[in-house]
A and B are shown apart, each in its own frame.
Chain A
Amino acid sequence: MSPRCSWLYRLPGRALLGGIRTLPTTRCPGLHRSLTSSAHPPQICIVGSGPAGFYTAQHLLRHHTQAVVDIYEKLPVPFGLVRFGVAPDHPEVKNVINTFTQTAHSERCTFLGNVTVGRDVTIEELQTAYHAVVLSYGAEDKRLLGIPGENLPGVYSARDFVGWYNGLPDNRHLSPDFSAETAVILGQGNVALDIARILLSPIDLLKKTDITQTALDALSNSRIRKVWLVGRRGPLQVAFTIKELREMIILPGTRPANNPSDYQNLGDFIKDLPRPRKRLTELLVKAALEKPGEKEALRRSQSDREWGLRFLRSPVAVLPSEDGKKAAGIRLSVTRLEGNGENAVAVPTGETEDIPCGLILSSIGYKSVPISSSVPFLHKNGIIPNSMGRVQDAPGLYCSGWVKRGPTGVIATTMTDSFDTAQSLLEDIKSGALNYSENRLGASAIRELLLLRGIQPVSFSDWEKIDAVEAARGAEVGKPREKILDPEEMLQLVCR
């Protein structure tokens, strides 16, 4: 990579578009505060520093001239899935970090990383220190397949696998097995496509991303040549979106291997579909049925890796190897659809099919977990019950993001729902439903507790030190950054 390009990645937010943004009400926060200090400012804290946390904070700071907003994060580093989920080869998606950084630089916003709410400090303690608590802690767990063999070596959840290649501290020792030729991904969402791309991308492309060195080394020695993405429903029900599919179809070094008969009868349905589903389906059909042009045909014939979609197959068991020590295949139940369109349901036909494979990635979705017995939680839906972000029967408690809606939706969806939650909170301040006449100590009270418990919070400027070290290490090897995998090492860097 030329120095110019690696340098571009490390541009501080200021130089790009995000840099021209300011939070209008925070331009002279000191002034605002002193002029209007007749009452105590509302003290608000947010749990989680992913898009939900940052967009909720942004809206509160922008639309209330006094509110103080502190963000608590379990990891020493901010940004949630923007850092640990978004694929390394999609750097443009991470541009939202520039706006988040502006928010964190507001004088009325404090970032406290390395604090696990529910363990280092309780929700009740936060409620005592703040007028309002917003829960934006995402979906930390994975949905389980619930089939025999799910725990065999060679089977990984998408959550862990993505965490591994993106440097999530918990997953740094995953060491996935790439010794087989075939990998099966269960699920047909965008995460499944991210994983397929990472497994099949030419290593030279990945080298220039912020994928961890560990993952890069393992993938360089990977023997995976075929990746099947298996869905329990049909081509009209795939969950991924068109941009990601288009990217997959033209991925250098790979060719699509789809079964034409899966697409042959779709013509009649396509014309009546809503535009997004229609264009997506047309692209699927084109990739499977249309004869490629000369150049594309040549490209495909020269590609040594392939991928394909398999439909109407629902996982029933992981098949163990002869010695029983690892996965050697997956048994799928053949299904048929009842009903049409988005709401069609897959029902087993009784038939099964086995696919031999040495790597199985279960990409059937993430899942939120309860944070405290004092916060209501709907286990069935994996969300905090709420109305417009107000937690049910819990005045002063709010929620936003994946823990509010469930683990679907892109960053922009999360942004809108976070603005909605912030709006509810602001309305409650205005209406008096949220009383802030009594002074609350906010972060200073919590810092005292943390000190007693031996927990050292990481500030935003501490994160900027970690960021600078990561960027410098990346520059040495032509990457936008080399993520630090060990939280202890991060804490050492910011040790005062």
Chain B
Amino acid sequence: MAYHTPKLVRMLLGGLHVNVCPRNFTHVQKLATNHSRGFTSSARCQDGQSSSGSTDDNLTVNFINRHGETLKATAKEGESLLEVVIRHHLNIDGFGACEGTLACSTCHLIFDPKHFDQLGPISDEEMDMLDLAFGLTDTSRLGCQICMSKAIDGMTVHVPKDVADARGETVGQQSQN
């Protein structure tokens, strides 16, 4: 089936705690439940990385959190924004509840249009989860799906005011009777 062991699995097997874009993890999890699905080769975040997954921490990204504070962080090429937040313990409550497996929308981020255009295509699955995010905008993405690259080095992203998933809220209920 899959000819290359996905990097995350290899590293976990080796007991190393190195950051890799959790996109790959999604595929691993899916594999665990459903062998027939296999891997897609869309491990975008790996492209810029050496096989060890650790390149220099030479990019930067600024997060503006819900309190309006700017949190500046260093990032590695290929690292997802979710991993950047976790690795630096950035003060953004509840970020990434499902750990980058596209099962929630708590890592919703809002981008400037000029950076948004650099981010590459968005999958139906990411759109599906974004649909449930509060404060959805035309330049919203999920942080777990965005990997750092030179093109977006130094950018500033906003954490929306409310992180809640809108599922349940978007659905109008007939009166409870």
Of A9, A241, A382, A416, which one neighbours B94 at CB under 8 angstroms? A416
B89 at the interface (CB under 8 A from A): yes
CA distance A55 to B174 in the complex (A): 29
B122 at the interface (CB under 8 A from A): no
Interface pair A96/B97, CB less than 8 Å apart: yes
B165 at the interface (CB under 8 A from A): yes
Q: Give the dominant DSSP class at B's interface.
A: loop
B71 at the interface (CB under 8 A from A): no
Instruction: State how many angstroms separate the Cβ of B128 from the closest Cβ of chain A.
Output: 4
Instruction: State how many angstroms separate the Cβ of B2 from the closest Cβ of chain A.
Output: 11
Q: Chain A, 364-395, contact with B by CB distance < 8 Å: what is the 0/1 string?
A: 00000000000000001110000000000000
B115 at the interface (CB under 8 A from A): no
Which residues on the B side are within 8 Å of A62 (C-beta)?
A: 93
Interface pair B99/A17, CB less than 8 Å apart: yes
Give the interface centre of B15, B97, B101, B136 by most chain A CB atoms within 10 Å. B97
Give the segment of A30-38, A272-280, A440-448 that binds chain B. Answer: A272-280
Instruction: State how many angstroms separate the Cβ of B105 from the closest Cβ of chain A.
Output: 7
Interface pair B13/A276, CB less than 8 Å apart: no
B173 at the interface (CB under 8 A from A): yes
Instruction: State how many angstroms separate the Cβ of A401 from the closest Cβ of chain B.
Output: 12
Interface pair B101/A95, CB less than 8 Å apart: yes
The tally of residues in A whose CB lies under 8 Å from a CB in B reads 70
Which residues on the A side are within 8 Å of B164 (C-beta)?
A: 409, 412-413, 415-417
| B175 nearest CB neighbor, chain A only | A345
CA distance A381 to B132 in the complex (A): 24
Instruction: State how many angstroms separate the Cβ of B76 from the closest Cβ of chain A.
Output: 14
CA distance A416 to B32 in the complex (A): 30
CA distance A233 to B171 in the complex (A): 12
Interface pair B83/A17, CB less than 8 Å apart: yes
Of A19, A274, A380, which one neighbours B17 at CB under 8 angstroms? A19
CA distance A203 to B91 in the complex (A): 43
Which residues on the A side are within 8 Å of B56 (C-beta)?
A: none
Instruction: State how many angstroms separate the Cβ of B28 from the closest Cβ of chain A.
Output: 6
CA distance A343 to B86 in the complex (A): 40
Which residues on the A side are within 8 Å of B100 (C-beta)?
A: 17
CA distance A6 to B32 in the complex (A): 7
B69 at the interface (CB under 8 A from A): no
B68 at the interface (CB under 8 A from A): no
CA distance A346 to B98 in the complex (A): 36
Which residues on the B side are within 8 Å of A143 (C-beta)?
A: 176
A452 at the interface (CB under 8 A from B): no
Interface pair B131/A279, CB less than 8 Å apart: yes
Instruction: State how many angstroms separate the Cβ of B112 from the closest Cβ of chain A.
Output: 20
Interface pair A91/B29, CB less than 8 Å apart: yes
Give the interface centre of B86, B99, B162 by most chain A CB atoms within 10 Å. B99
CA distance A276 to B98 in the complex (A): 20
Interface pair A243/B168, CB less than 8 Å apart: no
Interface pair A208/B163, CB less than 8 Å apart: no
A205 at the interface (CB under 8 A from B): yes
| B93 nearest CB neighbor, chain A only | A419
Instruction: State whether A233 and B174 are in contact (beta carbons under 8 Å apart), knowing that A91-B32, A246-B128, A276-B131 are contacts in the complex.
Output: yes
B120 at the interface (CB under 8 A from A): no
| A86 nearest CB neighbor, chain B only | B103
B127 at the interface (CB under 8 A from A): yes
Interface pair A381/B87, CB less than 8 Å apart: no
CA distance A276 to B168 in the complex (A): 12
Instruction: State how many angstroms separate the Cβ of B145 from the closest Cβ of chain A.
Output: 14
Instruction: State how many angstroms separate the Cβ of A9 from the closest Cβ of chain B.
Output: 6
Residues of A229-247 contacting chain B, CB below 8 A:
232-233, 237, 239, 241-243, 246
CA distance A15 to B83 in the complex (A): 14
Interface pair A277/B32, CB less than 8 Å apart: no
Interface pair B94/A419, CB less than 8 Å apart: yes
Of A8, A59, A409, which one neighbours B169 at CB under 8 angstroms? A409
CA distance A24 to B89 in the complex (A): 8
A209 at the interface (CB under 8 A from B): yes
Of A4, A90, A242, which one neighbours B103 at CB under 8 angstroms? A90
CA distance A242 to B165 in the complex (A): 13
Interface pair B17/A15, CB less than 8 Å apart: yes
Instruction: State how many angstroms separate the Cβ of A276 from the closest Cβ of chain B.
Output: 4
Residues of A314-371 contacting chain B, CB below 8 A:
341-346
Interface pair B132/A276, CB less than 8 Å apart: yes
Which residues on the B side are within 8 Å of A495 (C-beta)?
A: none
Instruction: State whether A241 and B99 are in contact (beta carbons under 8 Å apart), knowing that A15-B17, A24-B89 are contacts in the complex.
Output: no
Interface pair B99/A91, CB less than 8 Å apart: no
Interface pair A17/B86, CB less than 8 Å apart: yes
Interface pair A237/B172, CB less than 8 Å apart: yes
Instruction: State how many angstroms separate the Cβ of A482 from the closest Cβ of chain B.
Output: 16
Which residues on the A side are within 8 Å of B132 (C-beta)?
A: 241, 276, 410, 412
Instruction: State how many angstroms separate the Cβ of A250 from the closest Cβ of chain B.
Output: 10
Which residues on the B side are within 8 Å of A279 (C-beta)?
A: 127-128, 131
CA distance A449 to B131 in the complex (A): 49
CA distance A16 to B101 in the complex (A): 12
CA distance A189 to B171 in the complex (A): 10
A-B contact pairs, 19 of them (CB 8 A): A8-B28, A17-B99, A24-B89, A55-B94, A89-B33, A92-B99, A93-B103, A205-B34, A233-B174, A243-B125, A246-B124, A274-B170, A280-B131, A343-B172, A382-B176, A408-B168, A412-B94, A415-B94, A416-B162
A-B residue pairs, 7 tightest by C-beta: A342-B172, A412-B165, A92-B101, A416-B164, A409-B168, A276-B131, A408-B168
